[in-house]
Structure 1
Amino acid sequence: MGRRLTPRKIINYIVFVVVAVMAYKVFFQSDKEKDFDSEEYNPKKTKNEFNDDFIELHRPKGKGRSDDHREKVKAVKDPDELDDDVDDVKKKQRDETDNLIKKKDRGNKHETKDKINKYKDRADTARNHDSKNQKHSVHEVDQRDDHKMAEPVKKKADENVKVRVTEAVAKVDDVKQPKDDRKQLLEDEDRLRAERLKKLRKGSGEFDLDGDDMQTSKEKNARRKAFFKSLSEVHEQFDEDAEDDHFHERDDDLAITTAVWSDNYFGALQLVDSVQRHLPRVEIGLFDLGLTSEQRQKLESLCKVKVHRTLLMHMPDHMQDLSRNLWRPFVLQMALGTYGHVIYISPERKLKSIKDFKGFVAQSRIGGVSIVGRRRDYSTYVVTHPDMYHYFNTDIKNLQRTKHVEISMIILHNTVQVRMKFMRWLYGCAVEEWCIAPPGSHTKCDHRLHANSRLWANCHRYDESAINILLASWHNYQTKHYIRRDTITAHYDGRDVSRKLKYCDSARQIGDL
């Protein structure tokens, strides 16, 4: 079974058989006509593997084959009877081979293999005999049987190939057409994000983010537990359906506030000038984040202006970074506690018009908070570090469909709902550095923020991201309840407005809190 049947072997077998048959006829026909002296030769008996009769082989003593001394064979039986025996052997072996092939087709592979190996061993033994007629018969049977055994094997191999091809085609037919790579990527990311957030709802679960080592994961988990513990300690009971008296304030009760330090001092002067012209009866609250004594004194001399010290130096180190606006939740908390109804305008912006000003205020009364700014084509999800979601209860899919707003103005009312649903979470996140500014976060995005982008751009908007997320979740991602396009403020243009400002002598008495 170990040998491989090739076309060349088949041809060699056929040629050998033809030559052997011709030699057999010539050899035995010439030997019948001659007599041999029995004393000149020494008989040597050998037994045929396929026949119980003995054949005597006579060879010359000490001489090679020549015309006078050739190998002469004298069989016990007549040559005709020997031919019949060879035919019987062939028939017997052919029948045995056919039976083995049939058993192989029925699935008896192991039994068939053993018997075929046994037959091969017997055939190899027969080939080693000196009798040419025995060699011829064995070769003929071997050639025929190898050919017969090769046919079912080849047939079985072809059937196996067909089966494998059929199975492969079936699998290809069953495979669905792949979805768009970008859409598939979003779905996979949403699924993984949902699995990670599932255990983190309501302050439970462990951080398990890709790329975090064990120490970092433990630190994140400890910080998150401390965050939720601190929030649970600040809780007020309230009825969401009850009407709040704070929502009926007059427009004059609103205070316009901002943060000011030495770098944006002239921008604050321009804001004060615009408020004095458009809303002369509205108070202006400026929260000092780093003014000089002269700058502070001049601002306190302006009409309707009050400068508040913030004690920012006692806040966590990350909140003292003025370039990233991490201090804004702190200023909003102070403003809300000081005035009750607040319009916060970003530093270095001013009022350019009060057209539909009442409409802006009316919208803020829907939930207590309204943001005004530029609505972007991409979602908040694109510009928010993933670690921030572990602190807020957020629906990622809805957030991916919610447009991000670059905030220029915020209107807040000091109600229980605003304190519990918005300010408590915003201020708590601002105090926890790994919430407001997760490790590795930065403002520069990896790629261009194209329209309708839904993939994270590896950048972060700090407090602006937090405000967008909290308000979207609060209002069930219905942006019409809390977003307005900015049509009433403009950026600081660099003009000197010192001569236009209104000074009040009594204002100098308005000092520190």
Structure 2
Amino acid sequence: MPEIEVPLVFRILFLHLLCFSVYVFRLILQPQLVLLYHSPEAPVGQQFTKRSLAPSSLWCSAVGKPHICYHLPGNESVEGSSFGVNVLNYLKTLGLFDQKDRYIVPSSFLRDHSPVFLTAANSVYYRPSLMAIRSLQEHFPFQKIIFYDLGLTKVQASHIDRLCNVERIVFPFWEYPNYVHNLKEYRWKPIIIAKTLIDHGALWYLDSSVSFLTRNLSFVYHLLLPGSRQNNKVRPKFSIVLHASTGHGIYSATSPEVYKYIPTNFEKLKSMSAMMYQAGLLLAFRTKQALEDIILWYVACALNKDCMGPEDASSFCQFRDKEHLVYAGCHRYDQSVLNLLLANRLNYDQEQWSSGFNSFYRIERHQVNDTHPPFEC
């Protein structure tokens, strides 16, 4: 029996009809991600999409929605005070509840991408920040540098705009409560870290006092790969990694007021394994664990008036012999909060959130070198 050749136009038409049928079939049988939860507990205006975090991980047990409370990992019955009714809206505006489909795996991300560099300064720290930028341009000439303008003069801002690979973003202080304007409380830092992670997937944050000394960061990235070894244990680092030790414990430099909002296990927090690391240099990735367990609460604390910057907080420490056991009467603002959250999440084992490397960077307070300015384009 002779074969009947189907004209090309009919074959193309058949393929289009087949694709359309599959599309309609999927629309009918698969629930769309944008459908809202309408549980009896969710009041109008507070529903979350299925991309959002599970409500049970957010709400305060006593007062309920829209109040959010931190729950101690490993003992969810231990709950902090409410961060306030307005904090939830700020977190939603930042997009922290819309990342479920955008979480990354650090090892996969690093195969094809590089983290962006993030820094910030006002007019006082403008000159030191130029040295930080210069070091990045020298060692990473093709990587993006995001510079948050915390209050530059017009001349300074114009100069930053001319620098190669640098994108200047004015921090939107007008969108936040007045107490966020106090730069010395560093409430702006969790906000820009959250925003940049959401936009770019991974980042290096560095204060204006930090300069990079090498372009080879493979030994740091290796720590995040599956199968990486720490103290003869096969365990990759957490997706937020700090680098420079302070030499003292988290407990000794954290205001007692913080624990009202972020409760902890004091016995473990006072151990030698829970030392504080500087927050002026960190590597972070947009993973589920980083955003949901750390960054969300880092930002929530920053936006609560009494959490990150308690009224009686002082950066002046009076250390005693046992610098991890005794409160030194001081507070390190964002650094204290970030270390506390990491310690709670990682069983108070600093090796999980610190790299142990100090050869690839230099920290020099108020660094200035006008003979080696950043490159302009």
TM-score, normalization by structure 2: 0.67
Alignment of structure 1 residues 27-426 onto 2, 5 Å: 203-204=60-61, 224=83, 226=85, 235=97, 244-250=104-110, 253-354=114-215, 357-364=217-224, 366-376=237-247, 378-401=248-271, 402-426=274-298
Picking from 494, 499, 502, the partner of 2:368 is 494
Check whether the contact 2:197–2:285 (CA below 8 A) recurs between aligned residues.
yes
Query: Partners in 1 of 2:189 and 2:126 — Cα distance?
Result: 17
Query: Partners in 2 of 1:256 and 1:298 — Cα distance?
Result: 18
Aligned to 2:338: 467
CA 226–472 in structure 1, closer or farther in 2 if over 3 Å, else same = same
> By how many angstroms is 1:249 displaced?
2.2
Query: Partners in 2 of 1:303 and 1:225 — Cα distance?
Result: 42
- 1:364-413 CA distance string (max 9 Å, x none): 5633211121241x311111111211222421111111112223311111
Q: What SS is found at the alignment partner of 2:370? A: coil
The sequence identity of aligned pairs, in percent, is: 21
Aligned to 2:9: none
Greater relative contact order, per chain length (Cα 8 Å cut-off, separation 6+): 2
Query: Partners in 1 of 2:179 and 2:325 — Cα distance?
Result: 29
CA 229–295 in structure 1, closer or farther in 2 if over 3 Å, else same = closer
> By how many angstroms is 1:428 displaced?
0.5
Query: Partners in 2 of 1:237 and 1:250 — Cα distance?
Result: 19
Query: Partners in 2 of 1:270 and 1:204 — Cα distance?
Result: 48
CA 232–256 in structure 1, closer or farther in 2 if over 3 Å, else same = closer
Aligned to 1:508: none
Query: Partners in 2 of 1:338 and 1:238 — Cα distance?
Result: 14
Check whether the contact 1:269–1:497 (CA below 8 A) recurs between aligned residues.
no
Check whether the contact 1:223–1:432 (CA below 8 A) recurs between aligned residues.
no
Unaligned runs of 5+ in 1: 1-200, 207-220, 505-513
Check whether the contact 2:104–2:286 (CA below 8 A) recurs between aligned residues.
no
Query: Partners in 2 of 1:307 and 1:236 — Cα distance?
Result: 25
- Give the number of the structure whose residues are more often helix, by fraction: 1
> By how many angstroms is 1:458 displaced?
2.0
Query: Partners in 2 of 1:293 and 1:260 — Cα distance?
Result: 14
Q: What SS is found at the alignment partner of 2:125? A: helix
Query: Partners in 1 of 2:153 and 2:269 — Cα distance?
Result: 42
Query: Partners in 2 of 1:313 and 1:371 — Cα distance?
Result: 30
Q: What SS is found at the alignment partner of 2:244? A: strand
Rg comparison, structure with higher value: 1
Aligned to 2:355: 484
Q: CA RMSD in A?
A: 3.0
Query: Partners in 2 of 1:487 and 1:202 — Cα distance?
Result: 43
> By how many angstroms is 1:236 displaced?
6.7
Query: Partners in 1 of 2:88 and 2:213 — Cα distance?
Result: 44
Check whether the contact 1:267–1:494 (CA below 8 A) recurs between aligned residues.
yes
Q: Number of paired residues?
A: 283
- 1:72-117 CA distance string (max 9 Å, x none): xxxxxxxxxxxxxxxxxxxxxxxxxxxxxxxxxxxxxxxxxxxxxx
TM-score, normalization by structure 1: 0.50
Check whether the contact 2:313–2:330 (CA below 8 A) recurs between aligned residues.
yes
- 1:98-146 CA distance string (max 9 Å, x none): xxxxxxxxxxxxxxxxxxxxxxxxxxxxxxxxxxxxxxxxxxxxxxxxx
Query: Partners in 2 of 1:235 and 1:255 — Cα distance?
Result: 22
Check whether the contact 1:300–1:307 (CA below 8 A) recurs between aligned residues.
yes
- 1:145-182 CA distance string (max 9 Å, x none): xxxxxxxxxxxxxxxxxxxxxxxxxxxxxxxxxxxxxx
> By how many angstroms is 1:245 displaced?
3.9
CA 359–449 in structure 1, closer or farther in 2 if over 3 Å, else same = farther
CA 450–278 in structure 1, closer or farther in 2 if over 3 Å, else same = farther
